[in-house]
Amino acid sequence: MEIILAFLPTPFLLYFLLLFLQLLLKGAVDNGAKRIRVHILTDGRDVLDGSSIGFVETLEKDLSNLREKGFDAQIASGGGRMYVTMDRYENDWDVVKRGWDAQVLGEAPYKFRNAVEAVKKLREEPKANDQYLPPFVIVDESGNPVGPIKDGDAVVTFNFRADRMVMLAKALEYEDFDKFDRVRVPKVHYAGMLQYDGELKLPGHYLVSPPEIDRTSGEYLVHNGVRTFACSETVKFGHVTFFWNGNRSGYFNQEMEEYVEIPSDVGITFNVQPKMKAKEIAEKARDAILSGKFDQVRVNLPNGDMVGHTGDIEATIVACKVTDDAVKMIIDAIEQVGGIFVITADHGNAEDMVKRDKSGKPLLDKNGNLQILTSHTLQPVPIAIGGPGLAPGARFRNDVPTGGLANVAATVMNLHGFRGSLATMSPLSLKL
């Protein structure tokens, strides 16, 4: 049997990831699988909330076509990405356990005969959305789950978010796993679409070789004597370490680097505590800057992103205000030591939280209320560079019309005094 774990992709990737899923199904059939189960995870974060219904309907049609050809193909379980399976950086193992219970044990608080009914019914609950759908399992006419993972199954995790698959990979592969009681551990043939963590070698088997990422800016700086400090709270800690280092979870040189993780709040949605750990992150950054021990201090303040995704506008206002306070604390420290600051992001979220028509007019629901947008926005992201250490007369170049994070990395290298050091990166985005 083939088990494929899927979740809803971004609009840009929707066609391609549906195609990948269809190819996985075809590959399973072509290689002799007679019984196929798909465990879905709904999105509403990288894609518009509510799109889960259309995706599940499309997938059900594909599986129905297989059933007409004599294959036993069904959706077996599901849940929302922020509540089931897809935790990251070991922030909340209960999220992974909910997925394990549904996918492996066939146990969940909600049971339905089909996934379309499940998603539609669960979305009828007050404040329900795709991100936080509770776990559900599909059952047969006798009330038995149709697809718990068992000994001898082939399991493929199909998810383009590597950071959110590592914890499940640990639960599937580690013999000495102790984060929660797995009850039973099926002996399966498990592979990821990619290897999700190159340092931990997880998973051990994968369908596509991971890209080799070398000479990252962090690696280059450390190897050239630049002392670095990185800090965030758990939900974004990997963004200043794991991702920053080219999907590697460890240090390049522990004598030259210091990583500080502030534990995130667990068991609550982010709008309940919108201040999150912004103050604590800023205090750690301030102390690192004023200590004189580091040449670069990098932080991630996740409030606007994490709280914005909840769709709670009032809570997001609080999140933005506390982020402003945190940024001011950090900039004040930079000014004290004569340094330079670079402030940017890689996507929008909190700046526009309502759905709009093509003219930009906010959309209303049937009751006349604003339709809340919980997914990422597509506006260009600003970047601000300043501080007493910035050379007088420095200005942005006007020949980089579509600057991105590669330009930011090259600019940071430039600000550290390196010229042409990363040949594979885009042109610098500052004229000095």
Tokens of 101: 């219970």
Asked if 36 and 139 sit in the same domain, the reply is yes
Residues 246 and 152 in one domain: no
| 240 neighbors 285 (Cβ within 8 angstroms) | no
Domain boundary among 158, 192, 226: 192
Cα 371 to the chain's mean position, in Å?
A: 24
Find the farthest-apart pair of alpha carbons in the chain and give their distance in angstroms, rounded.
76
Do 152 and 245 share a domain, yes or no?
Answer: no
Read off the tokens for 382. Answer: 């600003």
Identity of residue 417: G
Cα 402 to chain center, whole Å? Answer: 24
Is 221 in the same domain as 274?
yes
Pair (141, 256) in one structural domain? no
pLDDT above 80 (res 424): no
**Number of domains composing the chain:** 2
Domain of residue 136: give its range: 2-192
pLDDT score at 381: 86
Decide if 197 is inside a domain. Answer: no
Per-residue pLDDT at 339 exceeds 60? yes
pLDDT given at position 5: 56
Q: Do 178 and 271 have their domain in common?
A: no
Q: Is the dihedral of CA 236, 237, 240, 245 positive or negative?
A: negative
Bridge partners (DSSP) of residue 6 are: 40
Adjacent-strand bridge partners of 370: 364
What's at 139, amino acid-wise?
A: V
Output the domain CATH number for residue 112: 3.40.1450.10
Please report the pLDDT score of residue 372 as a whole number: 86
For residue range 156-178, what is the model confidence (pLDDT) as tens digits? 988 767 778 889 999 999 999 99
Residues 238 and 304 in one domain: yes
- 429 within a domain of the structure (yes/no): no
Report whether pLDDT(2) > 60: no
**pLDDT tens per residue, range 180-234:** 999 999 999 999 988 888 778 899 999 988 778 888 888 999 999 999 999 999 9
Q: What is the pLDDT of residue 8?
A: 41
Answer yes or no: is pLDDT of 307 > 90: yes
pLDDT in tens, 243-259: 899 888 789 999 999 99
Average pLDDT value for residue range 73-95? 91
Q: What percent of the chain has pLDDT over 90?
A: 57
Q: Give domain status of residue 312, yes or no.
A: yes
- 238 shares a domain with 183: no
Other CB atoms within 10 Å distance of the CB of residue 240: 22
Residue 425 is predicted with a pLDDT of 42
Query: Residue 365 half-sphere exposure, CB side, CA atoms within 13 Å?
Result: 7
> Is 7 part of a structural domain of the chain?
yes
Query: Between 277 and 399, where is the model more confident?
Result: 277
Local structure of residue 316 (DSSP, 8 states): H
Strands 136-138 and 110-112: parallel
Rg (CA), the chain: 23
Q: In this model, does residue 311 exceed pLDDT 60?
A: yes
Boundary residue ending a domain (140, 175, 192) = 192
Task: Answer whether residue 121 shows pLDDT above 90.
Answer: yes
The pLDDT score that the predictor gives to residue 420 is 60
Pairing of strands 430-431, 395-396: antiparallel
* Predicted confidence (pLDDT) at residue 236 exceeds the cutoff of 60: yes
Phi, psi dihedral angles at 107 (to 5 degrees): -120, 130
DSSP 128-144: --STTPPPEEEB-TTS-
Q: Are residues 30 and 171 in the same domain?
A: yes
C-alpha span between 102 and 137 (Å, rounded): 6
| Residue 431 in this model has a pLDDT that exceeds 70 | no
Query: What is the model's pLDDT at position 1?
Result: 52
| pLDDT-based confidence at residue 73 (cuts at 50, 70, 90) | very high
pLDDT band at 421 (very low <50, low <70, confident <90, very high): very low
Q: Which of 100-114, 348-362, 384-398 has the highest mean pLDDT?
A: 100-114
Task: Say what the pLDDT of residue 74 is.
Answer: 94
pLDDT, mean of residues 393-397: 83
pTM of the predicted model over 0.75: no
CATH number at residue 366: 3.40.720.10
Query: In a 10 Å sphere around its CB, with 0-12 CB exposed, 13-18 middle and 19+ buried, how is residue 410 labelled?
Result: buried
Residues 285/330, Cβ–Cβ less than 8 Å: yes
pLDDT, averaged across the chain: 88
State yes or no: cis peptide before 362, omega within 30 of 0.
Answer: no
Same domain membership, residue 248 and residue 369? yes
Same-domain status, 123 and 158: yes
- Tokens for 374, please give them: 């919980």
Q: How far apart are CA 299 and CA 228, in angstroms?
A: 11
- 210 assigned to some structural domain: no
